[in-house]
Structure 1
Amino acid sequence: MDAKTSTSHPVFYAGRFADGVPRKALPDDCLLLDDWAVLPGPLADAADGASVVIVWDLLSFPFEALVGEARDVPLVLALPAGRDAKFLSAVFGETVFGGLGFFDGIATPDTDTWQALRRRYGWAEGQRVAAGEDPGGLISDVLAGMAGGERWEKAAHRTRESALLPRFAAARGLEAGEVPMDVLQVGVGDGRWATGFDPATTRFSGVDEDERALARAAQNFPEGGFRKLGPELSIPHPDEGFDLTFCVDTLGDYPAEEKRALTSEMWRVTRPGGRLLFLEDFVGGDGSAPYVVSVNAFVDLLMGATAGQVVLEHVESLRYPGEDTVRGGVLALSRLGVPGRW
């Protein structure tokens, strides 16, 4: 194993093929690992401070050893050439592929294999890496696509997932049998939360003010429906069209009256018995949300925006990695009323 100390560096796990990887083909700060790194100690040391772990030899990589903070390192898996989606799913399945999230990547030159796996595991198109023909080319492609800060973003995303996925499942429980669930995200951004739903049983839609964000969401999830918010933050969907309407880190961008308008619209497009879900900063944090309100103030605003026609079902606080302040919070509510249409 070629060890190198760095506060932020790419890690390339070549496993059994490490002897065939020319060191000069790798970036100077890249840590090259052979199959001795299957031991917990070397892998933990390598993951400490890693910006990304690129796995060239999937069959020998110890995925089960990625625990604790090591789970926050973005992973890029180079799929073996000449293997189709059926074979790869049989070998790696939910244990490996099912654990990949929005900030992880998959490198393969085979479009058919990629599309079959993407649909099966709900990956975003943006997770595909243009596979290099050699280790150096693959690493260059990966690093070129990274904007920086992905490790913290992945950690924060996992924190949010731990709170949101049970709420998504609870909303799914409202639907019987194989009836598709209609979901709307307000402030959809790049569409990353579409990965939280089974595409086979969910019709995912999103709205946003930013047309560039909508284009990214549509590129990531071609099966989704993405539209621009209308005048005065109106949602361009009919009444009572969704089983779940939610937003993540969105309302802090709006002052009180616009918050009220948007939450009223979210209530309007949610079916009676459906869920409204909010994950927002309710304590001032990094300054990215200029219009933070307390939980109590937001609940009062929400009750006014919905004429009290909601029931609060779940409240949960969130602390993000490396932060001492509990600034995030989740509120889940169900909409009251009798359906206006069946």
Structure 2
Amino acid sequence: MSEAYNDAPGTVDAEGLARGSSLDADAVRAAYRRWAGVYDRVFGAVSAPARRAAVAAVNAAEGVEVLEVGVGTGLALPHYRPEKRITGIDLSTEMLERARARVAREGLGNVRQLLELDAEATGFEDHRFDIAVAMFVASVVPNPRRLAAELRRVVRPGGLILFVNHFAAESGPMALVERALAPASRALGWHPDFAIERLIPAEQRKAASAVPMWPFGLFRLVSLSNPDSASARPG
């Protein structure tokens, strides 16, 4: 492994910090500091089917340079094909410590870097990756569309971008539950009432596929081909 455990400083989005209803970087770090020790047991099983589907899509896609955004404790890392070269980023020091321990324990030589970075401003060069996958991250970052724009920037034209996330129900009992939980977003570390339009504008959704994942469609796997990452800048 080359440069497998070099940390790099992330950046904090000032606009996100200024909005009281948003999750800023400090809120995310605090939430996942609390969750880190039990994350695999509590969230790992529930999210496993969606995670497996995302990794299968990465493994089937063309290209070998993969960016996993929100790598967390590294639950997905052992399941990528050996020829895929994985760079993982996360904002949580505690989560990354567990991911690094997993890489060392399981001898995952295809995991090239695990970095502490802001997903909205990674600092990677344009077109650095063939594939980017963001699992359970979109409803955490302060500016979801800035996240999407950043992934378009760092993925080559024609490359694959994947999101796995919970997206808010438009109606029914689940919508009521999500709205009731919304005030607890900072404590939870994510937005229960997160609408897909906050991530992908309606005109771009036409080119994306969104597949409900077990259990009960709680998560959706969204995939889209990157049309022109050179012209997509975070904003």
- Range into which the TM-score falls when normalised by the shorter chain: 0.5 to 0.7
Rg comparison, structure with higher value = 1
2:102 to 199, 220, 226: 220
TM superposition shift of 1:251: 1.4
Partner residue, 1:239: 126
Residues 1-342 of structure 1 correspond to what in structure 2 (within 5 A)? 147=38, 150=41, 153=43, 155-171=45-61, 174-175=62-63, 181-199=64-82, 201-222=83-104, 223=109, 224=111, 225-230=113-118, 233-255=120-142, 258-283=143-168, 287=181, 288=188, 289-290=190-191, 292-300=193-201, 312-320=207-215, 326-337=217-228
Q: 1:280 to 1:167 in 2, by over 3 A?
A: same
Q: 1:300 to 1:238 in 2, by over 3 A?
A: same
Partner residue, 1:126: none
Cα deviation, 1:296-334, whole Å, max 9, x if unaligned, reads 453217x6xxxx5x97353201242xxxx5331110011
Cα deviation, 1:4-38, whole Å, max 9, x if unaligned, reads xxxxxxxxxxxxxxxxxxxxxxxxxxxxxxxxxxx
TM superposition shift of 1:339: 7.6
**Matches of 1:191 and 1:149, distance apart in 2:** 9
Counterpart amino acid of residue 300 in structure 1: P
Unaligned runs of 5+ in 2: 1-36, 169-174, 182-187
Counterpart amino acid of residue 253 in structure 1: V
**Matches of 1:209 and 1:191, distance apart in 2:** 13
Counterpart amino acid of residue 189 in structure 1: G
Count of aligned pairs: 173
**Matches of 2:212 and 2:229, distance apart in 1:** 31
Name segments (4+ residues, structure 1) moved above 6 Å.
Answer: none
Cα deviation, 1:230-255, whole Å, max 9, x if unaligned, reads 4x831131111111101111111134
Cα deviation, 1:22-69, whole Å, max 9, x if unaligned, reads xxxxxxxxxxxxxxxxxxxxxxxxxxxxxxxxxxxxxxxxxxxxxxxx
Partner residue, 2:19: none
Partner residue, 2:21: none
Q: 1:337 to 1:253 in 2, by over 3 A?
A: closer
Secondary structure of 2:201's counterpart equals helix
Question: Per chain length, whose mean CA-contact separation is higher, i.e. which structure has more relative contact order (CA < 8 Å, sep 6+)?
Answer: 2
**Matches of 1:149 and 1:228, distance apart in 2:** 19
The answer to whether the 8 Å contact 1:280/1:329 transfers is yes
Unaligned runs of 5+ in 1: 1-145, 176-180
**Matches of 1:213 and 1:156, distance apart in 2:** 18
**Matches of 2:76 and 2:221, distance apart in 1:** 15
> Which deviates further from its counterpart, 214-223 or 203-212?
214-223
Secondary structure of 1:273's counterpart equals strand
Partner residue, 1:8: none
**Matches of 2:134 and 2:72, distance apart in 1:** 10
Q: 1:190 to 1:239 in 2, by over 3 A?
A: same
The answer to whether the 8 Å contact 2:210/2:221 transfers is yes
RMSD: 3.1
The answer to whether the 8 Å contact 1:253/1:291 transfers is no
Aligned sequence identity (%): 21
The answer to whether the 8 Å contact 1:276/1:334 transfers is yes
The answer to whether the 8 Å contact 2:127/2:229 transfers is no
**Matches of 2:84 and 2:45, distance apart in 1:** 26
Partner residue, 2:27: none
